[in-house]
Chains A and B, each alone.
Chain A
Amino acid sequence: MIAVYSRKLLGRVGRVSRIVLEGVPPTGRKLVYVGLAIVLVIVFMAIAAPIIAPHSPTAPSGRPLEPPSREHPFGTDRLGRDVFSRIVYGSRTVLWVVAVAVIISSSIGIPMGLISGYYGGVVDRVLSMIMDAVYAFPSLVLAIALAAALGPRPENAAVAIAVVYIPTYFRMVRGQVLQLRETPFLEAARVLGIPSTRIMRRHLLPHLLPTIMVVFSLSAADAVLTEAALSFLGLAVRPPTPDWGFDLYSAKGFARSAPLLIAIPGFMITVLALGLALIGEGLSERVRRTR
């Protein structure tokens, strides 16, 4: 049963990745693979956290601010917790928040952009104006305001980040639909009387897929940085939940005595964002070419 299901899933992943990677030049593919490798390592770390982490991420396992040792590869934090274990478990928080945020914002932004761009009219104009206004606004500040109103919990951070990135998807999809609407094949489909919903699902969406994947990975990279920022400002998690952004903030006062406390969480944030951005960068080489 599980085997059948996973084979189906693999088949689907294969098909999508074929469409997405098609026409991506070798240099672009290289970027995609490097990015993918980075992201997969971190995902693996999150899944296998209980196996990898030598200590509890939340309970003290040594004296405060111990230097690196065999017992504590990156030392301990000000409460005597193992830094390495907190980093390993922290990947869960950021990945979870970012995944939820990106799924929410894409599943709202993409259909909205599709419908708004396809039908046009007053609704489209009003929607575009709102989206443009939000898009032009500092996304971090908006996410801060939202997260502040909702309270410091990971799910609230995810919602705040999701709202902020809806315009990105909306604008991209709408722009593409406006372009595609003028192409002969869509005109033909309309003349043939194919229902609009079917045109959108069957004809527009596949054409949008490569661009969507680019925006998907780039906005996920941005979302990682936004999550870390919210968390750094104390708006994403409550202690003692392990989270890279918050751990960086907690280490702020101990830079001189324990520089690793600063170096490692921030490095992880940057590397994860870089991995996601590389995937987007690589994929966009195809998009740029076909333009």
Chain B
Amino acid sequence: MGLLRYIALRASLIIPSVLILYTIAFIVLRVLPGNPVLAVLGTKNIPEEQLQAIMEELGLNKPLYVQYFEYLWNVLQGDFGTSLIIRGRSISADLADRLPATVELAVAGMFVSLLLGITTGLVAGLKKDTKIDISLRVYGAITYTIFIPWFGLILQLLFALWLGLLPVSGRIDPGTALEEVTGFYLLDSLITRNKEAFIDALSHLVLPALTLGIVLSGPYTRLLRNNLVVALESNYVMAYRARGVRNYRITWHAFRNAIIPVVTYAGLQFALLLGGAVLTETTFDWPGIGTYLVEKIQYRDYPAIQAVVVVFAFAVGVVSLIVDIIYALIDPRVRY
């Protein structure tokens, strides 16, 4: 079948880009600053012998190219090595621990941004050149340049500190009992039929998701609005009118045409979403990969930082693959 081959081809294309980013991360974090162990432990006056022992243990005294392939081989098996700071601590385990939180936030943020972006874009496109259109376009331009931590802290101040409607930070109240199954709290509370935990987890998610979602919705507003305006003025819409097709159906057909580029854009936007997630997590003390990265940076735990870069590169690749597949399914002009 054609589609499967298309997917395989697309999937094979993400390998080089992940590899490139792996290499960049390797160069930046292992080659650039000289000896990372020295950089970390150098200040602590550790005897030379002990230093050598640590280097040996972490494989850092081997030639760089050996390190490069050894680490790559391990990564391919899902092993990101051990922490430089907390000796013997598996980075893979840490990541597995933190990943669900980030995925939960990213999915919620994407949902909010698409919901907001598509509604505002639709309304602006349908009300072209009216006051509503102009104010929605201003919304699109301004949200794009909002500094996420600022916006998050303002929302926190407003809804959590002043109004007390929502929790200030974190992912779940420490006092709430929740049995972890998948690591996704919303899902887990649903599986275990824990209504209390579900509401608690959801209320913690609202502010971070809104912060991320609103800031990222602007480009969708603009893209959908412009596409819709073009589609509504297109010849096929004129032809639909000439054949007496009802207005709401014509709008629907124009919308279907206008939404296709938005899907592609959502894939490109994913990188922005991950970057935004790092900031959102830091703002709301959300225990995901972003806060993990920031913690590890403070201790200059290079293997951990490198692992985060590789994981993010992989995530970007997978998402762009998914977007390609969706695109192929909704746009008949894509050949596969």
A touches B in complex, CB < 8 A: yes
Interface residues of A in 98-154 (CB under 8 A from B): 129-130, 132-134, 136-142, 144-146, 148-150
Residues of A within 8 A of B154 (CB): 262-263, 266
A177 CB, nearest partner CB in chain B, Å? 22
Contact A270 B312, beta carbon cutoff 8 Å: no
CA distance A52 to B153 in the complex (A): 28
Chain B, 10-21, contact with A by CB distance < 8 Å: what is the 0/1 string? 000000111011
Contact B16 A133, beta carbon cutoff 8 Å: yes
- Taking a contact as CB atoms closer than 8 A, the residue among B18, B149, B278 that contacts A266 in the complex is B149
Residues of A within 8 A of B238 (CB): none
Chain B CB within 8 A of A87 CB: no
Contact B279 A134, beta carbon cutoff 8 Å: no
Residue of B nearest to A274 (CB): B145
Contact A145 B279, beta carbon cutoff 8 Å: no
Contact A149 B33, beta carbon cutoff 8 Å: yes
Given contacts A149-B32, A248-B150, A262-B154, contact A133 B17 (CB under 8 A): yes
Contact A267 B320, beta carbon cutoff 8 Å: no
Residues of B within 8 A of A134 (CB): 20-21, 24
Given contacts A149-B33, A281-B141, contact A141 B312 (CB under 8 A): yes
CA distance A259 to B154 in the complex (A): 8
Residues of B within 8 A of A255 (CB): 153, 156-157, 161
Among the stretches A1-9, A72-80, A184-192, A224-232, the one at the interface with B is A224-232
Residues of B within 8 A of A148 (CB): 297, 300, 305
Contact A141 B279, beta carbon cutoff 8 Å: no
B47 CB, nearest partner CB in chain A, Å? 26
Interface size class on chain B is 35 or more
- Taking a contact as CB atoms closer than 8 A, the residue among B157, B272, B282 that contacts A262 in the complex is B157
Chain A CB within 8 A of B274 CB: yes
Contact B149 A145, beta carbon cutoff 8 Å: no
Q: Which of B33, B153, B272, B302 has the most chain A CB atoms inside 10 A of its CB?
A: B153
Interface residues of A in 252-279 (CB under 8 A from B): 252, 255-256, 259, 262-263, 265-267, 269-270, 273-274, 277-278
CA distance A256 to B157 in the complex (A): 7
Residues of A within 8 A of B293 (CB): 141, 144
Residues of A within 8 A of B283 (CB): 252
Contact A233 B275, beta carbon cutoff 8 Å: no
CA distance A40 to B38 in the complex (A): 45
CA distance A267 to B148 in the complex (A): 11
Chain A CB within 8 A of B28 CB: yes
Residues of A within 8 A of B279 (CB): 140, 229, 232
- Taking a contact as CB atoms closer than 8 A, the residue among B21, B25, B149 that contacts A248 in the complex is B149
Chain B, 158-178, contact with A by CB distance < 8 Å: what is the 0/1 string? 000100000000000000000
Residue of B nearest to A269 (CB): B147
Residues of A within 8 A of B275 (CB): 138-141, 229
Interface residues of B in 314-329 (CB under 8 A from A): 316, 320
Contact B278 A140, beta carbon cutoff 8 Å: yes
CA distance A17 to B147 in the complex (A): 29
B272 CB, nearest partner CB in chain A, Å? 7
CA distance A214 to B84 in the complex (A): 43
Residues of B within 8 A of A140 (CB): 275-276, 278-279
Chain A CB within 8 A of B313 CB: yes
Chain A, 184-220, contact with B by CB distance < 8 Å: what is the 0/1 string? 0000000000000000000000000000000000000
Contact A139 B271, beta carbon cutoff 8 Å: yes
Residues of A within 8 A of B239 (CB): none
Contact A136 B316, beta carbon cutoff 8 Å: yes
Given contacts A133-B17, A145-B28, A233-B297, contact A138 B161 (CB under 8 A): no
28 cross-chain CB contacts under 8 A: A132-B17, A134-B21, A137-B21, A137-B312, A138-B272, A142-B24, A145-B305, A145-B309, A148-B297, A148-B300, A150-B33, A225-B147, A233-B282, A234-B298, A235-B297, A245-B149, A248-B149, A255-B156, A255-B157, A256-B157, A262-B150, A263-B154, A269-B150, A270-B145, A270-B147, A273-B145, A274-B142, A278-B141
Apart from A249-B149, A266-B149, A274-B141: 9 A-B pairs, beta carbons within 8 A: A129-B20, A130-B20, A138-B316, A140-B279, A145-B25, A148-B300, A149-B28, A233-B282, A233-B294
Chain B contacts to A: CB under 8 angstroms: 16-18, 20-21, 24-25, 28-29, 32-33, 141-142, 144-151, 153-154, 156-157, 161, 268, 271-272, 274-276, 278-279, 282-283, 293-294, 297-298, 300, 302, 305-306, 308-309, 312-313, 316, 320
Chain A contacts to B: CB under 8 angstroms: 129-130, 132-134, 136-142, 144-146, 148-150, 221, 225, 228-229, 232-235, 245, 248-249, 252, 255-256, 259, 262-263, 265-267, 269-270, 273-274, 277-278, 281
Q: Which 10 A-B pairs have CB atoms at the shortest separation, nearest pair first? A: A266-B150, A140-B275, A133-B17, A273-B145, A138-B275, A133-B20, A138-B274, A269-B147, A274-B145, A138-B271
